[in-house]
Amino acid sequence: MQFPVGSLPLSNSPDLHLTHPTPSECQHIWTLAHQSWGDSLDLPQFLAESEYLLSVPLARDGGMTLWILVDRNLPPDERPILASCETFKKKALLSREDGVQDVVIHGIASVFCDPAHRGRGYAVRMMREIGEVLRTWQIGVGETCAGSVLYSDIGKVYYAKLGWKPVGQNRHFLFPAKNQDGEKSEKECIVLDADLGDLCRRDEELLRKRLETKGKDSRKTLMVLPDEDHMRWHHAKEDFVCGRVFDKECPFKGVLVGTWEGQDRVWAIWTRRFYGNSETARRENTLYILRLVFEKENENEKNKAEMREALKIIIQAAQAEADYWGLGAVKLWDPSPLVIDLIQGIDAEFKMVEREEDGIASLRWYGDGDLPERVANEKYAWL
């Protein structure tokens, strides 16, 4: 549905407000957004994926909300959609000197404006309003909303001016996909879908202990919880594409070094992202390590040698999986100082990339005082 530019309201009009789209308005938004975010899917596939992703973990049961900026005086399905976005209610941990607190943080994604409506200030108006609305959106009795987070693909300035400041280390390791000639360590265990729940619960147990310690000797820190719902959202998107585009299943969701019953294990949960089918796009297609976990982080030389060996096994397994799927690279976001040290001692080709324009984690803090330190800014939290 097209509307004459001259009939569009000013972005500062008091008649504009945030509301939620109808099903047909969702189809309209997704159709326009396909060119930007369709990746390897054609339009019918992208529309089906967008509908499907409303029903998966993290999004279903009200976890995800769709928003539009419109003229309040016009009826649904007959109004221009001036800007749109999605938000996800997420669990997070806030660590301070007095302990670790469970909080809510809202993730903002898919900020979009019809190309025909751009340059008129609608996205700015929407973001200013959503930033305030989210302070109390879906916040129940006893809950605290600590802030909202988004990942900017247009640099660090635009959203910073609207209140979302860059936080964390916006960098990643990049490893080329590589066939390992069938080599596999006897310590390597494949992570399947059925393993995710136990691994995520163990991860949370470790995190709470580590943040408790961290809060006693540093400023406050904030971390989106790397729970099972986050992993399953990424895997739902991955499974949809693998099934529709390649007519294949992708059962391997990561790799664990050690034994399932053992201790001091190291594991990675990953996802595959297919940006396109052209030769150029295939080079951009990526296996992302969503989350990397060391059960033991003792940095004495013996333990570091064991951790380095485990990390090498994980990287090689990820490279082999990327090669199998025809992906161009493996990316590991926000490596900790320990991981950086370990990687530099591994005989592997890699590059450290400092992101300046895309994937910039940006936080609008609703609490008192300075922005918290954001830890574990890994790919799982991206959405």
CATH architecture of 5-166: 3-Layer(aba) Sandwich (3.40)
Alpha-carbon dihedral angle through residues 115, 121, 125, 126, given to the nearest 10 degrees: 10
Q: Exposed/middle/buried for 158, CB within 10 Å: 0-12, 13-18, 19+? A: middle
d(CA 18, CA 253): 38
Residue 353 DSSP one-character state:
E
d(CA 117, CA 275): 26
d(CA 274, CA 244): 12
Determine contact, residues 380/234, Cβ cutoff 8 Å.
Answer: yes
Does 3.10.450 match the CATH number of domain 171-356? Answer: no
Which secondary-structure segment (H or E) carries 329?
strand 329-333
| Site of tokens 């693998």 | 242
Q: How far does the chain reach from its first CA to its final CA, in angstroms?
A: 28
Determine contact, residues 127/258, Cβ cutoff 8 Å.
Answer: no
pLDDT by 10s per residue, the chain, length 383: 566 566 799 999 999 999 999 999 999 999 999 999 999 999 999 999 999 999 999 999 999 999 999 999 999 999 999 999 999 999 999 998 889 999 999 999 999 999 999 999 999 999 999 999 999 999 999 999 999 999 999 999 999 999 999 998 899 999 999 998 867 788 999 999 999 999 999 999 999 999 988 766 667 899 999 999 999 999 999 999 999 988 999 999 999 999 888 888 999 999 999 998 766 667 889 999 999 999 988 777 778 999 999 999 999 999 999 999 999 999 999 999 999 999 999 988 999 999 999 999 999 999 988 899 988 899 999 98
> CA 6, 86, 198: angle at the middle one, nearest 5?
170
d(CA 374, CA 268): 20
pTM, whole model, 2 decimals? 0.95
Q: HSE, CB side, 13 Å, CA atoms: give it for residue 199.
A: 32
d(CA 295, CA 308): 13
Q: Of 94, 31, 102, 104, which is closest to residue 62 (Cα–Cα)?
A: 104
Determine contact, residues 379/372, Cβ cutoff 8 Å.
Answer: no
Residue type, 53: L
Q: Exposed/middle/buried for 57, CB within 10 Å: 0-12, 13-18, 19+? A: middle
Residue type, 314: I
Give pLDDT, residue 281: 65
Same topology, domains 5-166 and 171-356? Answer is yes
Give pLDDT, residue 38: 94
Give pLDDT, residue 297: 82
Q: Are strands 188-191 and 64-71 parallel, antiparallel or unpaired?
A: unpaired
Domain spans, the chain: 5-166, 171-356
β-pair partners for 192: none
> CA 227, 192, 334: angle at the middle one, nearest 5?
45
